[in-house]
Amino acid sequence: MQKQLRNLTLKNEFGSARKPENRKQKAMIPHFTTEPVSAVVSQNSNITLSCAVFPASAEIRWMVDNRLLQESNPYGFRPVEGQLWIPSIPDEYRELMFQCVADTPWGTILSRRANISLAVLHKFEERKDLHLNVSVGSNVMLPCQPPGSRPPATIMFRYNQSKIINSDTDRFKILPSGNLQILRVTTSDQGQYQCMAENKMRGRADSNCLGLNSGASLFKRVPNQEPAVIMPRTEFQATVRDNVILECSAIGNPQPVITWEKYGGILLPGRYRQIYDIQ
């Protein structure tokens, strides 16, 4: 027993107590404890990416767009103790992909990818003014095609050049696509509506300034009219298992009833749900 106790408290060459080796720890597979994270940055701003790995003795290097980063590089990217300091994204790039590379006695491992992107807010597409005649009590959807934005822009509407609609009420709702839905139209709703996109890092894009008036004039009462479908966006991109919302609105007097069908196939029961008057 005394020999066993002495073995547990043997000193190493530096004079500190040495604990018995943990065989499980020694057999552990190398892995990252901290990995770089994607981010959106403004022009000329700097960012630091972090990387840490087990075992701590691993040598850490960096890859940029699938190429090993050299210590001497034209962009001023500087590795510092497992981190990578990026003074700014070069003007000729909109986005760069970074990965941490760790060389260990058991092999080399790669971290997840981190995309560092420049903040962007594009212009609205030019469109003709849209004027809608809607009867009191009906529902209407005012279309808005938001411009490309990184990070995603906040969509809002300006009413009659003054009032800003940026949150939902019991009758007004800004849909995920950016379209504005107005339920149970009243005479007080008539006027001009203008779609706007705000990016906190790039400012605001205003449809009126860019030759787009996506508003609609709403009038008090109209005679019977043929139904017309308003569905400005017709193409969507989605990955497997994503939920998708398809929006559709129709005007007419009396208010049209909307149904859906799938071209070249059928809508399987349980795979869809039709939502009336989203609130």
The CA-CA-CA angle for residues 151, 154, 159, to 5°, reads 155
Q: How confident is the model at residue 176 (pLDDT cuts 50, 70, 90)?
A: confident
Are 96 and 50 members of one domain? yes
Which two tokens mark 249? 């609105």
Query: Is beta strand 114-118 parallel, antiparallel or unpaired with respect to 39-41?
Result: parallel
Q: Tell me what percent of the residues of the chain surpass a pLDDT of 70.
A: 77
Are 81 and 161 members of one domain? no
Predicted model pTM: 0.64
Contact between 55 and 104 under an 8 Å Cβ cutoff? The reply is yes
Contact between 206 and 196 under an 8 Å Cβ cutoff? The reply is yes
216-248 per-position pLDDT tens digit: 444 444 456 666 666 655 677 788 888 888 877
Are 135 and 220 members of one domain? yes
Please give the residue range of the domain that contains residue 162: 121-253
Are 172 and 212 members of one domain? yes
**Where is average pLDDT lowest: 10-14, 141-145, 159-163, 247-251?**
10-14
pLDDT at 227: 66
Highest-confidence segment of 14-28, 70-84, 263-277: 70-84
Burial (CB < 10 A; 0-12, 13-18, 19+), residue 100, is buried
Are 163 and 105 members of one domain? no
Per-residue DSSP letters for 144-203?
--PPPEESPPEEEEEETTTEEE-S--SSEEE-TTS-EEE-S--GGG-S-EEEEEEETTTE
Per-residue DSSP letters for 11-34?
B-TTSSB-PPP-HHHHTPPPEEEE
Q: Rounded to an integer, what distance in angstroms lies between the CA atom of residue 76 and that of residue 54?
A: 28
pLDDT at 224: 60
Number of domains in the chain: 2
Query: Which residue has 């839905």 as its token pair?
Result: 181
Domain contains 25: no
pLDDT at 267 over 60: yes
Are 47 and 144 members of one domain? no
**Where is average pLDDT lowest: 1-15, 58-72, 166-180?**
1-15
Are 71 and 107 members of one domain? yes
Domain contains 272: no
Are 98 and 192 members of one domain? no
pLDDT at 121: 92
Domain contains 46: yes
Which of 87, 118, 149 is where one domain is finished?
Answer: 118
pLDDT at 214 over 80: no
Q: What is the mean pLDDT of residues 38-54?
A: 94
Q: How confident is the model at residue 17 (pLDDT cuts 50, 70, 90)?
A: very low
Q: What is the mean pLDDT of residues 202-216?
A: 53
Are 100 and 184 members of one domain? no
Domain contains 261: no
Are 35 and 113 members of one domain? yes
**Where is average pLDDT lowest: 19-28, 170-179, 185-194, 226-235?**
19-28
Domain contains 237: yes
Q: How confident is the model at residue 276 (pLDDT cuts 50, 70, 90)?
A: low
Domain contains 140: yes
pLDDT at 232: 54
Are 151 and 222 members of one domain? yes
Are 145 and 224 members of one domain? yes
Q: Considering only CA atoms, which of 171, 189, 186 is closest in space to residue 278? A: 171
Domain contains 77: yes
Which of 118, 145, 172 is where one domain is finished?
Answer: 118
Domain contains 274: no
107-148 per-position pLDDT tens digit: 899 999 999 999 999 988 887 777 777 777 878 888 888 899
Q: What is the CATH number of the domain that holds 227?
A: 2.60.40.10
Mean pLDDT score of the chain, rounded to an integer? Answer: 78
Burial (CB < 10 A; 0-12, 13-18, 19+), residue 124, is buried
Which of 70, 86, 118 is where one domain is finished?
Answer: 118
